Structure 1
Amino acid sequence: MTDPSILAPSGPLLPDVSLRPPDVRVIQLRLPTFVRKNPHVLFAQVEAVFDLHCVTSETTRFRHLLCNLPPEVADEVADVFGSPLNDAPYQRLKQSIPDRTTASESARLLYRLTHEEELGDRRPSQLLNTMRQLGGASNVDSNGALLKELFLQRLQQPTRIVLVAAGDLTLDRAADLADRVHDATSPSVAPLASTAESSAVSRL
């Protein structure tokens, strides 16, 4: 007669995980970090993770995505997950996020363009390049009157006076002329001149 102890497992009995439904086996997924710049790429990565872990339920996908959203993004789609879940909650959330975040990002960049971007220690042409990048993301014409007016407002007064006196210049030509005025009037010229003068005096 076979000894029952030989057939008994040596450790505690564990449930057979392979018998559980796929969505039950997955307790926590680490999804890619949300990036506003291109949410469509994000969702391609998210769905690749779901496929690898056999997460097929719309509700489970929805909950995983919701748990991984940054707070500021969750605020923008609060009405989606705050309402009763429909037959495709994940698809609804997936469609809402790009629309909401793209619109809010464009508004943020437009505000930065019109209120926050300053010349600082940059050359005017560098400022214009940055403003064009912000304007492009906000659907502002890269050579239009609005961008030109905003650009002129950010320049120093002596530079603005020269550009106004130069007449109707294109934005690129205005930036080129502004660079030349900026370089000619830059305070960094003074220390160089003083150093050269001091060297000449010391040689006497």
Structure 2
Amino acid sequence: MHAAMDEWFAICEAQFELRNISNETTRFYHVLSNLPPDLISNLPTTIIVSKSYTQLREAVINMHEQSKPELFNRLIGATVMSGKPSTYLQELMVTASKVGVGEELMRHKFIQTLPTEITPVIAAVKNASVYELGTLADEIVPFLRPKYVHNVTTPPPRANGNLF
């Protein structure tokens, strides 16, 4: 859920830029007016009284953020890759950065989740960055049996493209 909140706030901030909204209080009210009532009811009163966008953003994200042990367990747990390998890898790397796990461990985790047909090929590439391995896996996967071929679709556009 945390990543979704980060993304939601990134969209809000893009809307603020497009509308030249830089005032902290104005940003606060725009975000508050778009939050679900059950979430608002769980916010500390001090956040509402502060009218600070920065404090509101931090409080909302903290309400949904998993602890480092939870993130680490999710990271090292058994996972199944779906979709493009590079997209899955990006998700792994975002979580890894939150718990301080290095690229080498993520390289091994990524290779471990790939289809067995391409694992030896990707593992044999020693001098590539983990992101380059993701791109290489993207290029190989379509040549595998149909069960591994993925369809990447884009979400439908919003009706008016705005949050506010």
TM-score, normalising length: structure 2: 0.50
Runs (5+) with no aligned partner, structure 2:
1-37, 51-61, 150-164
CA 1:130–1:33 in 2, change beyond 3 Å: closer, same or farther? farther
Is 2:39 the counterpart of 1:47?
A: no
Pick closer, same or farther for the CA change 1:48–1:170 going to 2, 3 Å.
Answer: closer
How far apart in 1 are the matches of 2:119 and 2:127?
Answer: 13
Q: Distance in 1 between matches of 2:148 and 2:48?
A: 58
2:94 corresponds to 1:133: yes
Which residue matches 2:40? 32
Q: What amino acid is the match of 1:113? A: L
**Higher RCO structure (Cα 8 Å, ≥6 apart):** 2
CA contact (8 A) 2:89 2:134 kept: yes
Q: Secondary structure at the match of 1:168?
A: coil
Alignment of 1:17-166 (within 5 A): 32-34=40-42, 42-43=43-44, 46-49=45-48, 105-120=67-82, 122-141=83-102, 144-166=103-125
- For residues 72-113 of structure 1, the C-alpha deviation after alignment (integer angstroms, 9 at most, x for no partner) is xxxxxxxxxxxxxxxxxxxxxxxxxx7xx97x6111111111
The alignment covers a number of residue pairs equal to 101
For residues 164 and 49 of structure 1, the distance between their equivalents in structure 2, rounded to whole angstroms, comes to 51
Q: Return the offset for 1:116.
A: 3.7
Q: Percent identity of the aligned residues?
A: 19
Within 2, Cα distance between the matches of 1:109 and 1:33?
26
Answering whether residue 139 of structure 2 is matched by residue 177 of structure 1, we say no
Gaps of 5+ in 1: 1-29, 35-41, 52-97, 191-204
